[in-house]
Copies of this chain bind each other. A is one copy, B any other.
Amino acid sequence: MSNQAQNRSAILLIHCPDRQGLVSAITEFIFKNDGNILYLDQHVDAEQNVFFMRVEWDLTKFTIPADKIGEYFDTLIGEKFEMQWRLYFSDHRPKMAIFVSKMSHCLHDILSRSHSGEWNVEVPVIISNHPDLEPIAKNFGIDFHMVKVTKDNKKEAEKEQLDLLSKYDIDFIVLARYMQILSDGFVSHYPNKIINIHHSFLPAFPGAKPYHSAHERGVKIIGATSHYVTAELDAGPIIEQSVVRVTHKDNIEDLVRKGRDLEKVVLSQAIWHHLKRQILVYGNRTLIFD
C-alpha cells in the first residue's frame, strides 16, 4: 500500500500568471516546512501565459498546522504571485447527492463503487423526479426523495431540491441520467460542483435524443461526455469522454445499449477525478492532473 493511502496529505490546485520562480517558490515552501511531495505536475499555457499546478504532500511531519496552511500559503506565496488556489485534504470524505430519473445503469455503477469502498465518498441522498429507482436506494440504505418536476412547478421543485441538498450538507451533485435541465439559478449554487453525463461525444449532438441523431447522421463511432454543468446546456467544461465503434447493423436500440456502457464508465471516471481533486477548471476547459 502506498503512503498516499495511509497518511494525511494536502492537495493544492493553483493557477496564476506565468513567471519565473513559481515552482521553486512553491516547492521550497513545502520542503522548508518538512512536507514530503507525493505528486507534482505543472503545466504552462504558453498562449495565455498561465501557470497551473497540482501538488500533493504528506503532512506527517509538516510543521504548519493543517488549519493554518491556507493562510500561511496565501501570505507567503499566493498573494505575491497573484495565485488562485484551492486546498484540500486527503482524509476529507465529501458528500455526494445523486439525481436520477428512470434509468438505473449509472446509479448502479456509482453505488457499487461507493459501496465497495472503491471511492472515498458518502452518498446520503438520492433525488429523483420519478419513483422507479427508490428500491435501489433502499437496497443500499440511502435516503430517496422524490421531487416531481413539471413545467409549472420548476421553481418550487428546485427550491425543494436545494433545501434537501442543504439539509444533507451536500458537497457536490452527480446527474446520473437525470434528464431534466437545471435552471441557471440552481447551477449558480454549485459552480463546478455538478457533474453531468451526456450521452454523446460533445460537441456533437447536444440536447435531446443524441443516439437518434447519431444514427440519423450515420456516424461510425458514438461517445459519451461527462462535464461540469454550467448555465448553457451541454456546454460546460468537459471532464472525460469515451467512444465505441458502431456499424450499420446497429439500430437505435443497439446504440442505446452500447452507449449505456460508455455512460456509466465515463461518469464514474469523472467522479473519480473530482474526488481525487485532480480537476482544475480554467475558463471553459479542465486540466486533469492524473
Residues of B close to A140: CB separation below 8 A: 139
For residue A31, CB closer than 8 A to chain B, the reply is yes
Q: Is the CB of B44 within 8 A of A41?
A: no
For residue A188, CB closer than 8 A to chain B, the reply is no
Number of copies: 4
Q: Is the CB of B218 within 8 A of A47?
A: no
Of the residues B36, B41, B205, contact of A41 by C-beta under 8 Å: B41
Q: Is the CB of B203 within 8 A of A248?
A: no
Report the minimal beta-carbon distance from A142 to chain B, rounded to whole angstroms.
Answer: 12
Contact string against B for A residues 206-225, beta-carbon threshold 8 Å, 1 for contact and 0 otherwise? 00000000000111110100
For residue A75, CB closer than 8 A to chain B, the reply is no
Residues of B close to A113: CB separation below 8 A: 105
Residues of A within 8 A of B (CB): 1-5, 20-24, 27-28, 30-32, 34-47, 52, 104-105, 108-109, 112-113, 115-116, 118, 139-140, 201-205, 217-221, 223, 237-243, 245, 247-249, 251, 253, 257, 260-261, 265, 268, 284-288, 290
The 5 A-B residue pairs whose C-beta atoms are closest, nearest first, are A218-B285, A108-B112, A204-B204, A24-B27, A248-B287
Q: Is the CB of A24 within 8 A of B20?
A: no
- In the bound complex, what is the Cα–Cα distance between A113 and B260 (angstroms)? 11
- In the bound complex, what is the Cα–Cα distance between A41 and B31 (angstroms)? 17
Of the residues B43, B217, B237, B238, contact of A249 by C-beta under 8 Å: B43
Q: When A27-B27, A40-B23, A241-B219 are in contact, do A251 and B47 touch as well, CB less than 8 Å?
A: yes
Report the minimal beta-carbon distance from A106 to chain B, rounded to whole angstroms.
Answer: 10
What are 23 contact pairs spanning A and B, CB under 8 A?
Answer: A20-B35, A20-B37, A22-B37, A23-B23, A23-B31, A24-B24, A24-B28, A37-B44, A41-B41, A43-B249, A52-B248, A104-B115, A104-B116, A108-B116, A139-B139, A201-B221, A203-B204, A204-B204, A217-B284, A218-B286, A220-B238, A220-B239, A247-B288
